[in-house]
């Protein structure tokens, strides 16, 4: 009786060994044939996500190769969707420093009971900032005058990466949207400025009162609504103001109710350079294409002076009767500031 028992045990052990060998061969064959439904399923997810992201415009692309530019630093500011005003302001100041927002609700005596920079989202650029202006309620940093301001900026408390010092080259990119119903005057409505900082009283190289470059809009009786790029050399040696030079003028209707992408590159020198390309997203039409060399892009007199960007809405109210009482909205998305060297 003992021998059969030992034989049965051996048979059972033999069957177990054969079973595990067979299972190992089966798994090897499956792996070698590229099988495994889990791998195929995992690849499906990202494909679906990519197709969704294509419905919205990607962040501004690096134009370094096209413009002959080697980027040394890059700073970005993007909205993250509708939320509380405190979060929006914190997001902006985290990039450009505390004090970089010049919104009416932040200045005593101004329009303080409502936030003036909020966030929204759409199917074209996704999350973005909305800058608000109110004809009868907003002032200029708490001062009631012939103009009103709602802007963000870099300034002397900002990181050097977002300030342009003498002979440095910088790039700026963003998305931009205005309504066809927005009211304009014959004076100015600035949406972007390159502004000098010169704290001295020495105006021999111009001063920082006038912006060096503006992207602005006006409405003239003769030509209607226009989008303009202006250049100013500041003051004459005798202290009188120089006239602005219009680098380009285009029809307001070319950009109204459209998202556009703006690209700027400039070298901040006495004989500097300035490029601006404004492209309509809907059809990739180039609306503005400025390429200036040997242009005066510097107002400084010391190593501490710089050029800095400003975005938002800064407009004259001298012809207030031409402005509508309705709230105006100017939309911005995906700011990029680069510093580098031209190739």
> Cβ atoms within 10 A of the Cβ of 331, count?
18
Instruction: Please tell me the number of Cα atoms within 13 Å of 274 on its side-chain side.
Output: 25
CB-based contact 217:191 (threshold 8 Å): yes
Half-sphere exposure of 191 (CA within 13 A, CB side): 23
CB neighbour list of residue 210: distance below 8 Å, 6 or more residues apart: 232, 234, 235, 241, 242, 244
Q: Which residue has the tokens 């580098």?
A: 340
Of residues 134, 141, 89, 149, the one with CA closest to residue 110: 141
**pLDDT value of position 126:** 97
CA atoms within 13 A on the CB side of 69: 24
Indicate the fold that domain 65-342 takes in CATH: Jelly Rolls (2.60.120)
CA-wise closest residue to 331 among 188, 125, 28: 125
pLDDT of residue 192: 98
Q: Three-class SS of residue 28? A: helix
- pLDDT, position 39: 31
- Report which DSSP code applies to 58: P
How confident is the chain (343 residues) per 10-residue block, as mean pLDDT?
38 44 46 37 31 41 66 97 90 98 97 97 98 98 97 98 98 98 97 90 71 96 94 77 90 98 97 98 98 95 93 98 98 98 90
Quote the pLDDT of residue 67.
64
Confirm if 300 and 200 have CB atoms less than 8 A apart. no
pLDDT number for residue 199: 74
In angstroms, the CA 121 to CA 226 distance is: 27
Contacts of 286 (CB under 8 A, 6+ apart): 277, 278, 279, 280
- What is the distance between the alpha carbons of residues 50 and 69, in angstroms, rounded to a whole number? 29
Supply the pLDDT for residue 30.
40
Rounded-to-integer distance, Cα 271 and Cα 191, Å: 25
Q: Which residues contact 78 (CB under 8 A, 6 or more apart)?
A: 59, 127, 333, 334, 335
């Amino acid at each position: 009786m003992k021998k059969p028992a030992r034989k049965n045990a051996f048979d059972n052990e033999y069957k177990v060994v054969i079973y595990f060998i067979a299972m190992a061969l089966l798994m090897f064959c499956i792996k070698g044939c590229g099988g495994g439904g889990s791998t195929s399923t995992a690849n499906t997810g990202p494909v679906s996500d990519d197709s969704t992201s294509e419905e919205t415009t990607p962040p501004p692309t690096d134009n370094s190769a096209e413009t002959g530019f080697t980027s040394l630093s890059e700073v970005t500011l993007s909205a993250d969707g509708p939320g509380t005003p405190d979060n929006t302001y914190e997001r902006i100041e985290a990039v450009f420093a505390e004090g970089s927002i010049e919104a009416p609700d932040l200045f005593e005596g101004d329009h303080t009971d409502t936030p003036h920079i909020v966030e929204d989202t759409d199917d074209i650029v996704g999350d973005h900032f909305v800058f608000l202006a109110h004809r009868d309620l907003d002032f200029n940093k708490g001062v009631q005058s012939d103009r009103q301001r709602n802007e963000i900026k870099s300034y002397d408390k900002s990181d050097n990466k977002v300030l342009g010092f003498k002979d440095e080259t910088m790039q700026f990119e963003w998305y931009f949207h205005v309504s066809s119903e927005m009211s304009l005057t014959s004076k100015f409505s600035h949406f972007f400025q390159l502004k000098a900082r010169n704290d001295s009283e020495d105006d021999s190289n111009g001063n920082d009162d006038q912006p060096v470059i503006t992207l602005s809009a006006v409405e003239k009786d003769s030509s209607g609504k226009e989008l303009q790029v202006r250049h100013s050399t500041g003051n004459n040696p005798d202290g009188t103001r120089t006239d602005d030079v219009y680098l380009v003028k285009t029809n307001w209707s070319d950009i109204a109710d459209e998202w556009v992408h703006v690209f700027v590159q400039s070298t901040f020198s006495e004989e500097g350079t300035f490029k601006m390309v404004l492209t309509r997203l809907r059809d990739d039409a180039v609306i503005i294409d400025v390429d200036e060399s040997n242009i005066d892009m510097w107002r400084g007199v010391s190593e501490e002076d710089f050029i800095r960007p400003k975005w938002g809405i800064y407009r004259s109210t001298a012809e207030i009767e031409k402005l509508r009482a309705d709230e105006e909205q100017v939309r911005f998305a995906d700011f990029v500031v680069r510093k580098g060297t031209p190739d």
